[in-house]
Each structure stands twice: as structure tokens, then as C-alpha cells.
Amino acid sequence: MTLYPIESGNFKLDGGAMFGVVPKSIWQRTNPADANNMIDMAARCLLIEDGNRLTLIDTGMGNKQSDKFFGYYYLWGNHDLDTSLKKAGFHRDDITDVFMTHLHFDHCGGSVQWNKDRTGYEPAFKNAKFWTNKDHWDWAVKPNAREKASFLPENIKPMEESGQLNFIDNNGDSYERSVEMGFDILYVDGHTDKQMIPHITYQGKTLVFAADLLPTTGHIPLPYVMGYDTRPLLTLDEKETFLETAVDQEYYIMLEHDAHHEICTLQHTEKGVRLKDTFTFDEVFK
Ligand SMILES: [Zn+2]
């Protein structure tokens, strides 16, 4: 098995929204804001090559939205999905499976593209199975008013219409091995219903793709919870358990949204669980 970090393109989000009740005077020390109060965000995906199977975890924002839409997200940097796949030695048509941690647009927008004559949408990975779970799917296709701006029908419906949509089976346990994917999944409900956090054993280490459970190193202290989370008190519980486990099990945490750190480890301190080290992907895995 070989893993590759895949950068799909950086953007910016409102720093206040990213840190909920934490004051700017505090969060700007780790995540400095620009003149518009926006902070740097990555949309870092993970590619798993395992035998004949090529699985992409999350797909970034994609490129089918309007200039007006992207104007809100201040795209920056040189990364895009196709270039990153090519650098790893692959083409998007090689992808056999697309696993989406959840269906917010910055995690699944790249799964769907315009069709050739721009009259409608089609899967952006024509040979892939798309994986979500039934509970999250049901939640996403009838979005509440708060998440409506994140669950965009054009990102979601075409996967179903193509017949390429699949659901991960689960017994209802919060941590389960997925037979379909071949890795363990932690299910968390604080950010959105049934977000899936992959735990992958690789080169003797556990790599956790933290998605929106821990977006950047700035979000490590327990109450630093995004304003976007639908159930912040539940996030506190889920995050506390996760942070403790991450220290005990010496997890290497891959940060999807941290534009400046690919991987981090954690440690216990007098103040609680805090950052231990940051690494590039290549520093940890050879
Ligand atoms: Zn999200």
C-alpha cells in the first residue's frame, strides 16, 4: 500500500466562523487573518494505492461553481487536483473509489463536474464508486437551513443519478472497521451528522485523516470549535475522546484544512492536550 497527500487547492474562510466563540485576539496567533478577516485554508485529500484499487479520500471544492461563488472563498496558491494526481503518477480516470468524509462542498465539490457542453453535471471520476453513508446522505439531501449553503445539490445529486453512489455499511458503532474500504472509520456527529474519519495503518503508524473534526493545528484546544458545527457540545465530547486517544495511540493526524501543516502529533500538557510536533507527509512516511 502507498499513500499520497493530494492538494486540491487552497482557499480562505472567515476566521471568526472557523473558531466559534474563541476571540480573534487569541485565534489570530495560530491562524493569522488577512484584511478581510479571512484565514488560510487547504483542501488536502489523501490517495490510497492498494493493489488494483486507487481510493481518493475527499475531493476539495472542484471548479464548477460560478466566479461569484468562488469570490467568497478567495482561492490562492498553485494546487489543483489533476496536477497533484499527476505528480503522484495518476490520472483521475484511474481512481476506483472516492470516499467522502462528509458532503460539505469543500470536501466533495470535486466529485462532480460540468458535462462536456455544460448543460448539466456528471461524476468527475467516471470509473469510481462514490462512498458515503446512508444516514449522512439522508441528512445532506434534505439540508437544514444552517447547512444549506454547505450541501449543494449539484455536488450531491449527480453521484446518485450516475448509479455510482454506494453506502458504507455500519452497525451503529462509533468506531468500526469498514470492510468496503479496508480501513477503520470513526463516526462523529458534532460537525454534521455521521461525518467519517478514516484511521489507516501504514508503515507501522496510524494515520488519521481528521477532516472537520480537527481542521487545523489552531483547533487543538478543546473549546476551539468551529462556528459551523451543528452540535458544538457534542463536538466537545467527541473531540475530547479523540484527543486523548490520539495521544495514547500516538496517532499521526493528517490535517485537511491546515494550509501550513500536513501532519501533527499531540501530547498531554498541564493545560490539556496540545500540539507536539508538525511534519510534512514525506518526513513521516518514506
Ligand atoms: Zn464540513
| CATH number for 138 | 3.60.15.10
Cell 495518476, residue? Answer: 90
* Residue 252 DSSP label: E
Question: For the chain, how many structural domains are there in total?
Answer: 1
User: From ligand 1's centre to the CA of 117, what distance in Å?
Assistant: 31
User: From ligand 1's centre to the CA of 116, what distance in Å?
Assistant: 29
User: From ligand 1's centre to the CA of 53, what distance in Å?
Assistant: 26
User: From ligand 1's centre to the CA of 192, what distance in Å?
Assistant: 7
User: From ligand 1's centre to the CA of 215, what distance in Å?
Assistant: 9
User: From ligand 1's centre to the CA of 262, what distance in Å?
Assistant: 18
What string of pLDDT tens digits covers the 286 residues of the chain? 999 999 999 999 999 999 999 999 999 999 999 999 999 999 999 999 999 999 999 999 999 999 999 999 999 999 999 999 999 999 999 999 999 999 999 999 999 999 999 999 999 999 999 999 999 999 999 999 999 999 999 999 999 999 999 999 999 999 999 999 999 999 999 999 999 999 999 999 999 999 999 999 999 999 999 999 999 999 999 999 999 999 999 999 999 999 999 999 999 999 999 999 999 999 999 8
Among candidates 236, 235, 265, which has minimal Cα distance to 249? 265
Q: List the beta bridge partners of residue 116.
A: none
Q: Which domain holds residue 193?
A: 2-284
* DSSP assignment string, the chain: -EEEEEE--BEEEEHHHHHTTS-HHHHTTTS---TTSEEEE--EEEEEEETTEEEEE---S-S-S-HHHHHTT--BSS--HHHHHHHHT--GGG--EEE-S--SHHHHGGGEEE-TTSSSEEESSTT-EEEE-HHHHHHHHS--TTTTTTS-HHHHHHHHHTT-EEE----S-SEEEETTTTEEEEEE-SSSTTEEEEEEEETTEEEEE-GGGS-SGGG-STT---TT-S-HHHHHHHHHHHHHHHHHTTPEEE-SS-SS-SEEEEEEETTEEEEEEEE-HHHH--
User: From ligand 1's centre to the CA of 270, what distance in Å?
Assistant: 30
What is residue 169's predicted lDDT score, i.e. its pLDDT?
Answer: 95
User: From ligand 1's centre to the CA of 226, what distance in Å?
Assistant: 10
User: From ligand 1's centre to the CA of 95, what distance in Å?
Assistant: 23
User: From ligand 1's centre to the CA of 220, what distance in Å?
Assistant: 17
User: From ligand 1's centre to the CA of 178, what distance in Å?
Assistant: 21
Burial class (CB in 10 A: 0-12, 13-18, 19+), 3: buried
User: From ligand 1's centre to the CA of 200, what distance in Å?
Assistant: 20
Other C-beta atoms closer than 10 Å to the C-beta of 26 total 12
**200, 258 contact by CB (below 8 A):** no
User: From ligand 1's centre to the CA of 212, what distance in Å?
Assistant: 5
What is residue 27's predicted lDDT score, i.e. its pLDDT?
Answer: 98
